[in-house]
Structure 1
Amino acid sequence: MGKWIACPHAGEYAFDAAAVRRHWARLHAGDAEPLPADAAVVDAWALFHSGEFQKAVEAGLAAGGDGITVANKATCIYANYLEKKEKIRLDLFLEAAMRAESQAAERPECANAWYWQAYALGRYSQGISVAKALAQGLGTRVKDALERTMQLQPRHADARVALAAFHAEVIDKVGMLIGGMTYGAKKETGLRLYDEALALNPASAITLVEYANGLVMLEGEMRMKEATRLYEQAAAMQPLDAVQRLDVELAKSELEN
C-alpha cells in the first residue's frame, strides 16, 4: 500500500475511543453498524472518523473480525473522495469488494459485509461506465447485495440510498423500459427508497446529495429546483467527523457547479 493522500480535514476532527462510543449512534445512523466489543476495532473506527483513512485500514485489518468493515469503509471513502488517479481508485474499489465478499462468505449474517461489497462494486461500475458494468453482470450483483443488506438490517439507510441510486443510474443510462424489463429498475422504487433513507437518517448530508442527483436522473430538469434545495440543505449541515465534512464539501461543490 503506497502512501495515500491525506484528508484535508484530518486535523479538525480528533476522535479517540471514548468519543467514538459517545457519538456512535449519530456517526453510524447510516450504516447501522453495531458498536464493536473489541477495543482494537473501536480504535480503528477512531482513526476513520478522524480522517486518518490509511491508518484506519491498517488498524482494521490488524484487528480482524469486525475490523474488516472499518478497512472496507475507509478504503471506499478514501477512493471515492480523495484518490486522484483513476486506476488506483478502481483498484481500491475492487480490493474492498473482494475483501467484503470474503467477509460475507465467512459471516453471511454481517449486513455491512454485503453493503461494502455492493458499494465498492457500484463505484467501480460508475468508473468503468454503468453500461459496461451492466453488461458484465455487476448491476445484478450490486442489487442483490444491497437487498441482502436490507434483509439483514432493515434500518440500513445507506443501503437504501445505494439501491435507489442503482435504479436511477440504470434508468438514466438505458432508459425506463429496458431498465425495468432487464434489470428491474423502477422510478417509483428509486424515489421511495430515497424517501425511506431520509426518514431513517435525516441528518445525512450525503443522503441529501444522492437524493438530489437521483431526482434529476429519474425526473429530469423539472426537479432541478428541488434538487438545488436538497444540495443547499446538505451544504448547511454541521459535520460531526471528517467523513461528514467531506459530504458537506461535496454538497457545496454541487451548488457551485
Structure 2
Amino acid sequence: MTPDLRPVSLLPPGCHAPTAQAGRWAPLPYADMPRFDTQRLLAAWPRLHAGNPLPPPAPGPLADGWVCYHNGEFERAAAIGLQHGTDGLMLANQATAIYANYLEPRETVRLALFLQVAERAAGHAAVEPGNAHALFWEAYALGRYAQGISVARALAQGLGTKVKTVLERVIALEPHHADAHIALGAFHAEVIDKVGPLVGCMTYGVRAEFAVALFERGLALNPSSASGWMEYARGLLMLEGDSRLPEATRLYEKAAAVVPADARERLDVELARAGLAD
C-alpha cells in the first residue's frame, strides 16, 4: 500500500525549494489538502497535534518550519528544524521520519533516515530525559527501522525491548500521547504475530489484550487518526487472523473516511483507500 509517487510541485508560500545538493527527497504527490500559513497553523494546532500533544511554537522561523511540515514540504521543514538547535529537533525528526515512512522510495535511504532520526532523538532524550516527544520519535524511528529489516531480525538484535521500553516511558510521561498508545499496541501485536503469544508474553511481556486496550485508548484520545484505525485493523489481523477481516475492513473504511487535516493525514487516507482497493 504505497502512495503514488509521481512528482508534483507543491511548494507552499514561504517554503523554498531545496538546494540541488539536498534535493533528493520525493515531493508530496497530492494537492487536495488544507494549506497553512502561521496564523492558520497555530489556530489548528490542537487538531493537528491531537496524536502527539506538542506545545505550539512561537510565531517566527521555527513556526514557519512547522508550516512547511504540515503543508507537506518535508525536506524544507527538516532543514529549518536543524537550523534551530535543540528547539528544532522535534520538527526535524518528525519531518524526516514521516517523509521516510510514506514517501522515500529507496529502501536503503529509508532505513538510513530512520536511523538518523533515532540517533538524533536519543541524543535529545539524553539531554532532556523527561522529554516524551523526543523519546517518541526515537521509538517511532526504531520501530519503522525494525519493520524494514524484519521484526524477527530486530527482536534478535534487542531492538524490540528498546522500542517497548521507550514507548512505555513516553506514556508514563505523557498519558495523553495517543500515537504512543497506538504504536505500543502495534508492537504487542507484531511480536505476538512473529513469535506467538506464549513466547511473546514470557520473553517480551506482550499480550493480545494489552494490544487491544492500547489501540482503544489511543483512538479514544484521537478518533481522527486515520493511521491509528489502520494500525488497529492490522493488529486485529495479526492477533486473530482472517476471522477479524470484516472488522479490519470496517476500521479501514473509518480511516478512509477521515477528512485529512494536513499533508501527513492526506497520505494516511490514501493508504487506507489503497488498502480497501486491494
1:185 partner amino acid: V
Whether the 8 Å contact between 2:33 and 2:266 is mirrored in structure 1 is no
Aligned match of 1:249: 270
The one of 39, 42, 48 equivalent to 2:60 is 39
Aligned match of 1:115: 136
1:1-257 equivalences under 5 Å are 1-9=22-30, 12-37=33-58, 39-257=60-278
1:115-140 alpha-carbon deviations (Å, 9 max, x no partner): 00000000000000101100100001
In the superposition, the TM-score normalised over structure 2's length comes to 0.90
Whether the 8 Å contact between 1:11 and 1:50 is mirrored in structure 2 is no
What is the CA–CA distance in structure 2 between the aligned matches of 1:61 and 1:11, rounded to whole Å? 28
What is the CA–CA distance in structure 2 between the aligned matches of 1:13 and 1:3, rounded to whole Å? 25
What is the CA–CA distance in structure 1 between the aligned matches of 2:61 and 2:172, rounded to whole Å? 28
Task: Give the direction of change, closer, same or farther, for the CA distance of 1:11–1:70 in structure 2 (3 Å limit).
Answer: farther
1:189-226 alpha-carbon deviations (Å, 9 max, x no partner): 00000000010001111110111110111111111101
Deviates more, 1:6-15 or 1:72-81: 6-15
What is the CA–CA distance in structure 2 between the aligned matches of 1:18 and 1:67, rounded to whole Å? 19
What is the CA–CA distance in structure 2 between the aligned matches of 1:97 and 1:195, rounded to whole Å? 27
**Matched residue of 2:24: which SS?**
coil
**Matched residue of 1:37: which SS?**
coil
What is the CA–CA distance in structure 1 between the aligned matches of 2:174 and 2:31, rounded to whole Å? 30
2:51 partner amino acid: G
Task: Give the direction of change, closer, same or farther, for the CA distance of 1:256–1:11 in structure 2 (3 Å limit).
Answer: closer
Higher RCO structure, 1 or 2 (CA under 8 Å, sep 6+) = 2
Deviates more, 1:130-139 or 1:60-69: 60-69
Whether the 8 Å contact between 2:33 and 2:260 is mirrored in structure 1 is no
Whether the 8 Å contact between 1:94 and 1:121 is mirrored in structure 2 is yes
Unpaired segments ≥5 residues, structure 2 = 1-21
1:151-196 alpha-carbon deviations (Å, 9 max, x no partner): 1111000000110010000000111111110111110000000000
**Matched residue of 1:23: which SS?**
helix
1:16 partner amino acid: D
2:249 partner amino acid: T
**Matched residue of 2:83: which SS?**
helix
In the superposition, the TM-score normalised over structure 1's length comes to 0.97
Equivalent residues, number: 257
**Matched residue of 2:50: which SS?**
coil
Deviates more, 1:82-91 or 1:11-20: 11-20
Structure 1 segments (4+ residues) deviating >6 Å? none
Cα offset, 1:34, TM superposition: 1.2
Whether the 8 Å contact between 2:33 and 2:261 is mirrored in structure 1 is no
Cα offset, 1:38, TM superposition: 6.2
